[in-house]
Amino acid sequence: MSNPLYDTLFAPHAAREDAFLRLATGYEISFRDFLALAAQYAHVLVEIGLKPGDRLAAQVEKSPEALALYAACVQSGVIVLPLNTAYTVEELRYFIENSGARLLVCDPKAEGGLSQMANDCGAQVLTVGADGRGTLVDVATGKPETFDTVSRSEDDLAAFLYTSGTTGRSKGAMLTQGNLLSNARTLVDVWRFSKDDVLLHALPIFHTHGLFVATNICLVSGASMVFLPKFDVDWMIDMMPQATTMMGVPTFYTRLLDDPRLTRELTAHMRLFVSGSAPLLAETHTRFEQKTGHRILERYGMTETNMNTSNPYDGDRRAGTVGYPLPGVEVKITDPETGAVLAQGDVGQIEVRGPNVFKGYWQMPEKTAAELREDGFFITGDLGRFDEDGYLHIVGRDKDLIISGGYNIYPKEIEVLLDEQTGVLESAVVGVPHTDFGETPVALIVPEPGATPDTDVLAEQVRKDLARYKHPRAYFIVDSLPRNTMGKVQKNILRERYKDTFEPA
């Protein structure tokens, strides 16, 4: 019986006795033992009544057991719904109700607060903790270590990933086995992964970056992972000598750069550092290369598509760009109003098409129709442009676009300029209401440690380099910018926080 995702990711490793997961404690878990645990979990899922196509919601801390639950879902044909560990009970209620999940797997410490809600939604509850203990583990103990894999096709759904919902209710992106497989296979080839690689994995596994990019790449290639429960500078430094590759968000790299132990000697054996999920500052690129001799590879992906583009493995990895479209993936820049393809260099909405693009939004046909064209192109909501060499530049999110007095203002253009100024660590530009112009830009400035940027000097530089309508009408010095779990600046929070800046007296 065929199950393409399981047959490709997991089945080839069933007899391997070598380490798949290397933990911070020094403990190692072999491929064989990992898949035996997954098979035991699959038996539990079937015995409690889950059938192929049913949904399983998982809000659990990162652990080998949590990862084995993903494998069990694939093997049993259950659709996995990984959920951010920061979600509240009411947020979870929406996801469980909306998805129709029949099982919620949560942390043992959260079971008391979630059981009634899950019961109200018609879902059973089992638990798995960060320490590998819980009722799921207890029930699985003694179950057979092999499981007859359920037949599925590449068109069958494998996962729901809910979008962040910054502009309304979160949408459940439906990802098929084929979506996940195509992307993993492509990235293994493009980033040159092999059985000899060891990935330093400190990402969460409730997000596509840590689960469907990092983990699936390792499984397709047969590579192993240094599997850390979270990002911790000491762990990263201590475990890096065991690794050959690393994937992270920009925060990982900025924090490593602040540690004097990050040196050329420490990273000499590494072959690849990848960054994504949020834009990487050009300064971070430069500092990392100066300190380690490695140039970070930045790429572009999203919940609905996994990865779309990547800077080249061989060739110029350009700061401020996300490289070229991946093989098999089409990317075009279009006019948001007409959908017409724009000329090279023009800013417009980014659309993508390929085997990686999701099937649609769960129970939201109108949203699906609005964002997924009949010809297969997905309207990403991101704004970008191609430069003369074919590199894609992300300008910002469509919803972050500022329209002031009838002029379109792309915040990224202003932010890049501000980030280059002395004493500025990073910046964010957002649009706020304005009586005369509808909305107008304001700039939030995070200083470098020990620095005090002069906002008058910053304003003068902006006046010198940018057209008048792009000038922020106010500058605020702030300690930090609000970010989500994956490091993206939450501009919706900033817009709300500063919405009354120009309110009439």
How many angstroms separate the CA atoms of 74 and 81, rounded?
12
- Check whether 505 has a pLDDT greater than 50: no
Distance of CA 274 to the CA centre of its chain: 12
Residue spans of alpha helices (H) in 121-205: 135-140, 177-190
How many angstroms separate the CA atoms of 77 and 149, rounded?
8
Query: What mean pLDDT comes out for the span 434-448?
Result: 86
How many angstroms separate the CA atoms of 443 and 425, rounded?
13
How many angstroms separate the CA atoms of 94 and 91, rounded?
5
Answer for the pair 432, 294: CB distance below 8 angstroms, yes or no. no
Nearest Cα to Cα of residue 128 among 144, 115, 146, 110: 110
How many angstroms separate the CA atoms of 466 and 459, rounded?
10
Burial state string for 180-219 with b = 16 or more CB within 10 A and e = fewer than 16: bbbbbbbbbebbebeeebbbbbbbbbbbbbbbbbbbbbbb
Q: Facing residues of 396 across strands? A: 383
How many angstroms separate the CA atoms of 450 and 108, rounded?
43
Token pair 């690849």 is at which residue? 272
Q: Facing residues of 55 across strands? A: 79
**Percent of residues, the chain, with pLDDT higher than 90:** 80
Residue spans of alpha helices (H) in 313-385: 365-371
Token pair 């809910």 is at which residue? 162
How many angstroms separate the CA atoms of 166 and 381, rounded?
12
pLDDT band, residue 335 (cuts 50/70/90): very high
Query: What mean pLDDT comes out for the span 105-127?
Result: 96
Model pLDDT, residue 456: 95
Q: Which stretch of DSSP H or E encloses residue 439?
A: strand 438-447
Query: What mean pLDDT comes out for the span 8-20?
Result: 97
Alpha carbons within 13 A on the beta-carbon side of 120: 13
Q: Facing residues of 82 across strands? A: 58
Model pLDDT, residue 451: 94
**Percent of residues, the chain, with pLDDT higher than 70:** 97
φ, ψ of residue 104 in degrees (nearest 5): -110, 125
Answer for the pair 397, 367: CB distance below 8 angstroms, yes or no. no
How many angstroms separate the CA atoms of 9 and 12, rounded?
7
Model pLDDT, residue 96: 96
**DSSP at 339:** -
- Compute the 3-state secondary structure of the chain and give helix, strand, coil in percent, each to the nearest 5: 35, 25, 40
Query: What mean pLDDT comes out for the span 226-241?
Result: 96
Query: What mean pLDDT comes out for the span 393-409?
Result: 79
Model pLDDT, residue 254: 87
pLDDT digits (tens, 9 = 90+) for 360-382: 999 999 999 999 999 999 999 89
How many angstroms separate the CA atoms of 466 and 456, rounded?
15
- Check whether 398 has a pLDDT greater than 80: no
Model pLDDT, residue 167: 43
- Look up the pTM and report it: 0.84
Coil, strand or helix at 137: helix
pLDDT digits (tens, 9 = 90+) for 69-94: 999 999 999 999 999 888 888 889 99
Query: What mean pLDDT comes out for the span 209-218?
Result: 96
Query: What mean pLDDT comes out for the span 299-313?
Result: 95
Amino acid (1-letter code) at residue 404: S
Contacts of 34 (CB under 8 A, 6+ apart): 20, 21, 64, 67, 68, 71
- Check whether 503 has a pLDDT greater than 80: no
